[in-house]
Amino acid sequence: MLKELSIENIKKELIDKISNNEEVLEIFRKREYSKDEGKCLREYGDSFIKDNYIFNHHVPDDFDNYIFVEANEFEYPIYGNSKKEIRKSYSVDIMVEITDISELDKLSILLGDIATELYPNRYNYTNQSLFVTKKGSFGEYRCPKRIIKFTIE
């Protein structure tokens, strides 16, 4: 059975799989939290992580720890026989940033594995690093991120 591809379905599938992956959750469980966040983590458990750090939309630039998933839809014509067909493809971006940069590569590989498991026929796959300059209370700093990109049809 083929999956019905749509922006909504792709994001939902990826978010569900990421939010329920024990290794991903463990990375977020062991990061340093403020006193209030630590209290919420103890009180609400993994649902606190899922609700506050894993998103199905782009997050503001002032966030420091997150995973977000975005999908984009493209249509293009396929010419064959005498009919013109329209085909859709979806480009997917999964961005991750975490203050414990020693976990960043591991987390990005886990996210890539999740994408491959859900969409084994994906193509144009990349797992690339980038740096963003952010403003903090002590001035500007460079923050590493990773973005996993791929296309599915």
Residue 1's pLDDT is: 44
Q: Which 3 state secondary structure label does DSSP give 146?
A: strand
- The reported pTM is 0.87
User: Which residue in the block uniquely carries the two structure tokens 């720890």?
Assistant: 65
List strands edge to edge, sheet with 66-80. Answer: 54-55, 66-80, 83-97, 139-152, 123-136
Q: Which 3 state secondary structure label does DSSP give 42?
A: helix
Do the bridges between strand 83-97 and strand 66-80 make them parallel or antiparallel, or are there none, so unpaired?
A: antiparallel
Contacts of 22 (CB under 8 A, 6+ apart): none
Residue 91: count of CB within 10 angstroms of its CB: 15
Contacts of 113 (CB under 8 A, 6+ apart): none
Helix axes 22-29, 46-53, angle to 10 degrees: 90
Q: Which 3 state secondary structure label does DSSP give 55?
A: strand
pLDDT along the chain (153 residues), means of 10: 83 96 90 76 86 86 86 88 83 92 92 96 94 75 88 95
